[in-house]
Amino acid sequence: MARTARPGSLVLGEVSGTADLVDAIIDLISDGSLADGDRLPSTRTLAEQTGLSRGTVVRGFDELSAAGFIDSVQGSGTRVAAGAGQAARAGARTRGGGDTSSSSHSSSSRSSTSRSSPGPEPRRGRSARDLRPGIPDVALVDERAWRSAVRVAATQGLAGLNPWEEPSPTLRAALADHLRRHRGIAAADPLLFDSSRSAIAALCSAFVAAHGPVAFHTEDPGYRGALLMAREQDLEVRFHPAEPGGLDSARLGSERAIVFTTPAHQFPLGHRMSVDRRVALVDWARRTGSLVIEDDYDGEFRYGVAPLPALVTLPAAADHVAYVGTSSKSVAPDLRVAWCLPPAALRREVERWLVVHRRGPSTLPAEAMGAFIDSGAMDRHLARAARVYSDRRHRLVAALARECPHLDVTGVEAGLHLCVLLPGYDDDEVVRELERAGWRTRSLSGQSAQYPVSGLVLSYSRLVARDADEFAARLRQVIDGR
């Protein structure tokens, strides 16, 4: 029978932040001071004991829980997880022997001994050294809550309907409430898609069907997926340099057009569109009869800044702004669930496109997503994920400032990624050098078509433990060596 440690009995030594706290607790698990099943002090007690803020302790517990070292059970407190001791002793938190394999439950790559142990099992898709943007940390999703949502969806049986013609009413209703509470979008009636790209393609097709061929305006560097969808519709693409304040409507001319933008966190540079440029863009769309496609791909995550309103919530915007969202950043990309709020004048044509192209999400994941939101698990997940991502972002920004103080970093206020600018360097070659050292990154110039910017696009969503320091040190070595 597992023994039970008295809450408040941990001897941690001096800890100065989340990373130190995580390391100290794993040390206790590794040396046997904490055994599987032992109860940990409450976050409040541990904060008083260490002198850390309670928020810092909560983030530390979130890291340990995501890595599979501890379990929190309602009414039973927080305990050391089964198998945690063996995993810690096998080196689950540290890199060893150049091994670059991955695990979602360890703060860094495990040794081969660890991978064969019965400790916390890795999940598919996790790589501690993969900093490419676009994938959240699925280890942060509460497995019990998700499995419960899947069971709710499964008990309803097969609908026997085409999901592109009869989309999940559960998810549509849940999303309407979610968008109202989280993004301030009232009276939402979302259409469901299998991806944001499909939604963008449908909107372009619907607008062209209504108004004839038009130009497609987008920022550069920008989201390549939107560019591909515009070119599939044979639209003339016009590029505009991405600016810190967001897209300047004065550059757009006076002709009817389609404009694609990511105002909450410009992809990839990460700028937030200013309030005055948001208002000016909506006013331009109204005056010219244009369509603005607002891709809110990671708008749920903000760090220390006030939320800015979605474009579609601004006065007179509903008739000219199409809102697009996706579960790929907030939950997981393999769900393949996205949604769109088209202007009323385009809705029937967008629905027709869905029926013709059959690009709605499968019913089971859509129903499960709806149940996940309805149960309150989505709200809890977003709150927890925001704390963890904020801590990982802070670590990466701080490590880059220490190791590469001469490099500018952009896009740190929101989202799941940031950019490191590398003027004067061949960023593709830097990416290759980093990959030879075991780090997968993405070049910023690779996101450009007309206004290339040299740099790295780095996701911190799966960057845990000491990875930030190791990466920043390696980046400095690569830069210094060129």
pLDDT at 5 over 50: no
* DSSP 3-state of 406: coil
| pLDDT mean over 229-242 | 95
Is the model's pLDDT at 15 over the cut of 90? no
Q: What is the pLDDT of residue 444?
A: 96
Calculate what percentage of the chain has a pLDDT beyond 90. Answer: 61
What is the pLDDT, as a whole number, of residue 373?
96
What integer is the mean pLDDT of 55-75? 81
Distance CA 41, CA 395 (A): 25
Cα separation, 353 vs 350, whole angstroms: 5
What's residue 100's pLDDT?
Answer: 31
3-class SS string, 351-366 = HHHHHHHCCCCCHHHH
Torsion angle of the four alpha carbons 242, 243, 247, 249, in this order, in degrees rounded to the nearest 10: -120
What is the mean pLDDT of the segment spanning 276-280? Answer: 96
From start to end of 159-298, where are the E strands? Answer: 191-193, 215-220, 236-241, 257-261, 291-295
- Residue 158, pLDDT > 80, answer no
CB of 52 closer than 8 Å to CB of 15: yes
Calculate mean pLDDT across residues 3-32.
74
Nearby residues of 436 by Cβ (< 8 Å), 6 or more positions away: none
Residue 457 has pLDDT above 90, yes or no: yes
More confident residue, 274 or 10: 274
- Are 68 and 81 within 8 A, CB to CB? yes
pLDDT recorded at residue 9: 54
Confidence of residue 253 (pLDDT cuts 50, 70, 90): very high
Q: What is the mean pLDDT of residues 411-437?
A: 95
Q: What percent of the chain is modeled with pLDDT above 70?
A: 88
Model confidence band, residue 74 (pLDDT cutoffs 50, 70, 90):
low
HEC sequence for 177-202: HHHHHHHCCCCCCCEEECCHHHHHHH
DSSP-derived secondary structure letter, 145? H
Residue among 210, 173, 208 at smallest CA distance from 190: 173
- Is pLDDT of 170 > 80? yes
Question: Length of the chain, please?
Answer: 482
What is the value of pTM for the model shown?
A: 0.77
| Sequence-ordered alpha helix ranges (H) in 224-360 | 224-232, 275-288, 344-357
Average pLDDT on 238-259 reads 96
